[in-house]
Amino acid sequence: MATKSFVSLIALAAGVEAGAIKQRATSTQPDWFQTSPNNYAGTTATGAAPFLAATNPAPFGEATYVPNAPLETSEPISGANGRNIFHLMGDLSPYFSPSEGFGVKEYPLPKGANITHMHMLQRHGSRYPSSSEGLDTWGTGIQKAIANGAVFKGELEFLNDWSYQLGKEILVPIGRQELFNSGILNYYNYGHLYDNSSKIVVRTTLQSRMLESAENFLAGFFGLDWSKNANILATIDSATTGESACANEASSMFANIAEPISTWQKTYLKDRTEKLRRLTGNYNWTVTDTYHAQSLCPYETISLGYSEFCQLFNYEEWEGFAYLMDLEFAGLSGFMSPTGRAQGIAWVEEFLARVEGHYVDVPAKLTGANMTLDTNPVTFPLDQSLYLEFTHDANIVSVLTAFGLTQFDDFLPATHRPKNQQFSASKLVPFAGRLNIEIITAPHQVSTKRSSKAGSKSIDYVSGTGETKYVHFIQNQRTIPLHSSFSVCEYREDGWCELSTFLKAQKHSLADAQYPYACSGNWTVKGWGSVRDGVPA
Ligand SMILES: *[C@@H]1O[C@H](CO)[C@@H](O)[C@H](O)[C@H]1NC(C)=O
Ligand SMILES: *[C@@H]1O[C@H](CO)[C@@H](O)[C@H](O)[C@H]1NC(C)=O
Ligand SMILES: *[C@@H]1O[C@H](CO)[C@@H](O)[C@H](O)[C@H]1NC(C)=O
Ligand SMILES: *[C@@H]1O[C@H](CO)[C@@H](O)[C@H](O)[C@H]1NC(C)=O
Ligand SMILES: *[C@@H]1O[C@H](CO)[C@@H](O)[C@H](O)[C@H]1NC(C)=O
């Protein structure tokens, strides 16, 4: 989805050299600028590692809306009535936890039960546009038109003095903050699971924004000295080489979504395009221009703090934008993608191997996993309680698909938004979106009906039953109810599933992904909607 940014690597190398020269030049002086080791830090006693996920008796009652900060997002949007358009930007939404959840409420951990493991899959934070999006080219085109005498009027008047000022691919400041905040949040929730007698292996990629996301997260989780606690295993990102393990992925992904994207763009932006056209003089303003203007709202806001493009669109048009992202992700790596399950199956198999306590034992040709890494105890340790992993939006969607979370397999038509839509790119993969999977051991079966009163933790057990393990999926701090996707998982108010039942259900995931056929088979992309189960039709 992105091309390599060599520039940042060169800049990094240049920075290192400059630093080395400066140090040599000042070597006759004491080292004024050294802060470590530090013998004068004063008292440094640390307290117990928290475990809020286990000790939190919330929810307590009405949630209070907390405005976004530091971005300016309070501009008036026609028809919004207090609703936040920054929750309607698909994968370009700054991080948020969806207030409506995924179908169940959250409950406190019953007294006596333990969270024993947490597996996290975390998306990088807010970034500049990808090289492939064409926004820079659009900006140049607008400036050229102005130089040639185009004059924009009315709501578009600001364009006469506007220029494109965004970078490419790397994290913007709020992206750093999102990951730092996620590290802090995850520390409060799961810090107790870190065993300080050993360093954990954390996985990310060498792509600039991926590596920096992992580093910012770890700085939040452990503090700036995080390298004492974690080793980063950073592999080459296929997004920077264009070489995916799944050969058909790149060729099919964009072919699959081109038609629905174009149809929906022309539909939801028709009226707005006609209105804006009247303000553009001799510049031939098309639906594509309207779409680029709309995309610049999230990108300028996260990059510069505020954007004049946002108010060009009403709330319904932002709902249309969100739906465009839903079409895109369903078709790129969700249930409407022919390689949706295949793209995510390697991580699913890695997760299952860790939960079952063995190395990945499925041949690489069935998953695309890197077996050199996945069978080595140094690079694939099995004894961690915390697995922290960093990835991209499309990968998280593909993992949910490969698990078989059919709650999110709705058919998304190109011509209109369906009712009761479950699959939402904004809710699932905003910037810094994350999946936390908890493994829970309870002394007894936990009642499927949960007591929601704080302080009544002890009445949630089924009497006469023994120790029972559960799995709990949490996407962006909201529970994904496993019974909605797996008929073998009994209906539970808390959305958990018994671990043994869940593992049995997962026995099918590998075959269901059809990795060899999906990734290397000779099939063609058929019309939109022909793919409904994340494998070729
Ligand atoms: C680990 O934590 C314990 C208890 O909190 C503390 O006594 C010990 O010094 C810590 N060890 C390291 C290596 O930080
Ligand atoms: C596995 O990962 C290692 C380390 O990144 C790399 O050198 C090797 O080429 C990879 N192997 C495959 C089959 O991708
Ligand atoms: C404006 O652009 C549209 C779409 O590219 C094209 O069909 C149309 O002919 C253009 N009109 C003019 C006046 O150039
Ligand atoms: C939970 O952890 C505590 C402390 O390690 C332990 O005593 C207890 O037996 C555990 N409970 C279960 C159900 O595993
Ligand atoms: C793939 O299938 C098409 C149509 O059935 C056929 O024309 C083509 O030769 C096949 N390609 C390969 C590499 O088998």
Which domains does the chain carry? 98-126+172-244+339-520 (3.40.50.1240), 131-169+246-329 (no CATH)
Ligand number, closest to the Cα atom of 346: 2
- φ and ψ of 231, to 5 deg: -105, 130
Residue with CA at minimum distance from ligand 2 atom 5: 235
Number of H helices and E strands in the chain, helices first, is 17, 8
- Using the 8-state DSSP alphabet, how is residue 161 labeled? G
| Rounded-to-integer distance, Cα 150 and Cα 162, Å | 13
Residue 314 Cα to ligand 2 middle (Å): 48
Best of 266, 274, 280, 284 for a ligand 3 pocket test (most atoms within 8 Å of beta carbon): 284
> Quick check: helix, strand or coil at residue 499?
helix
Is any atom of ligand 4 closer than 6 Å to the C-beta of 114?
Answer: yes
Residue with CA at minimum distance from ligand 4 atom 7: 112
CB 476 within 8 A of CB 98: yes
* Vertex 315: Cα angle to 309 and 320 (nearest 5): 90
CB 236 within 8 A of CB 242: no
| Rounded-to-integer distance, Cα 427 and Cα 88, Å | 9
Is any atom of ligand 4 closer than 6 Å to the C-beta of 68?
Answer: no
**199: which residues sit within 8 A by CB, 6+ positions away?**
228, 229, 230, 231
> Quick one: which of 493, 449, 496, 444 has its CA closest to 471?
496
Residue 201 corresponds to which amino acid?
Answer: V
- Using the 8-state DSSP alphabet, how is residue 442 labeled? E
**342: which residues sit within 8 A by CB, 6+ positions away?**
246, 249, 368, 398, 402, 513, 514, 515, 518, 519, 534, 535
CB 512 within 8 A of CB 341: yes
Is any atom of ligand 2 closer than 6 Å to the C-beta of 372?
Answer: yes
> Quick one: which of 127, 228, 231, 102 has its CA closest to 179?
127
Is any atom of ligand 4 closer than 6 Å to the C-beta of 443?
Answer: yes
Residue with CA at minimum distance from ligand 3 atom 4: 286
Is any atom of ligand 2 closer than 6 Å to the C-beta of 286?
Answer: no
Ligand number, closest to the Cα atom of 228: 1
**Would you say how long the chain is, in residues?**
537
Residue with CA at minimum distance from ligand 4 atom 5: 114
How many CA atoms are closer than 13 Å to the CA of 262, on its beta-carbon side?
7
Q: Which atom of ligand 4 is nearest to the CA of 114?
A: 1
- Using the 8-state DSSP alphabet, how is residue 484 labeled? G
- What is the per-residue pLDDT for 69? 62
| Rounded-to-integer distance, Cα 341 and Cα 346, Å | 10
Is any atom of ligand 2 closer than 6 Å to the C-beta of 370?
Answer: yes
Q: Which atom of ligand 2 is nearest to the CA of 372?
A: 1
Ligand number, closest to the Cα atom of 229: 1
Is any atom of ligand 2 closer than 6 Å to the C-beta of 373?
Answer: yes
Q: Which atom of ligand 3 is nearest to the CA of 284?
A: 1
Residue with CA at minimum distance from ligand 4 atom 3: 114
Is any atom of ligand 4 closer than 6 Å to the C-beta of 385?
Answer: no
| Rounded-to-integer distance, Cα 191 and Cα 50, Å | 6
> Quick one: which of 11, 391, 8 has its CA closest to 168?
8
Q: Which two tokens stand for residue 110?
A: 């019953």
Residue 519 Cα to ligand 5 middle (Å): 15
- What is the per-residue pLDDT for 11? 30
Residue with CA at minimum distance from ligand 4 atom 10: 114
- Rounded to whole angstroms, what are the CA distances from 366 to 17, 362, 430, 502? 44, 7, 30, 21
- Rounded to whole angstroms, what are the CA distances from 360 to 243, 291, 473? 23, 44, 22
- Using the 8-state DSSP alphabet, how is residue 162 labeled? -
- φ and ψ of 200, to 5 deg: -95, 155
Tens digit of pLDDT at every position of the chain (537 positions): 333 332 232 233 322 323 333 334 456 776 766 767 766 655 554 555 566 666 555 665 545 544 446 787 877 899 999 899 999 999 999 999 999 999 999 999 999 999 999 999 999 999 999 888 999 999 999 999 999 999 999 999 999 999 999 999 999 999 999 999 999 999 999 999 999 889 999 999 999 999 999 999 999 999 999 999 999 999 989 888 877 889 888 777 788 999 999 999 999 999 999 999 999 998 999 999 999 999 999 999 999 888 999 999 999 999 999 999 999 999 999 999 999 999 999 999 999 999 999 999 999 999 999 999 999 999 999 999 999 999 999 999 999 999 999 999 999 999 999 999 999 999 999 999 999 999 999 999 999 999 766 555 457 899 999 999 999 999 999 999 999 999 999 999 999 999 999 999 999 999 999 999 999 999 998 899 999 999 999
| Rounded-to-integer distance, Cα 219 and Cα 215, Å | 6
Residue with CA at minimum distance from ligand 3 atom 14: 284
- Rounded to whole angstroms, what are the CA distances from 363 to 85, 187, 287, 352, 374? 45, 35, 47, 15, 11
> Quick check: helix, strand or coil at residue 60?
coil
Pocket of ligand 3 (CB under 6 A): 284, 286
Residue 196 Cα to ligand 1 middle (Å): 6
Residue with CA at minimum distance from ligand 2 atom 12: 370
Sign, CA torsion 99/100/101/104? positive
pTM, two decimals, is 0.89
How many CA atoms are closer than 13 Å to the CA of 519, on its beta-carbon side?
21
Q: Where are the beta strands (DSSP E) in 443-501?
A: 468-475, 478-480, 497-498
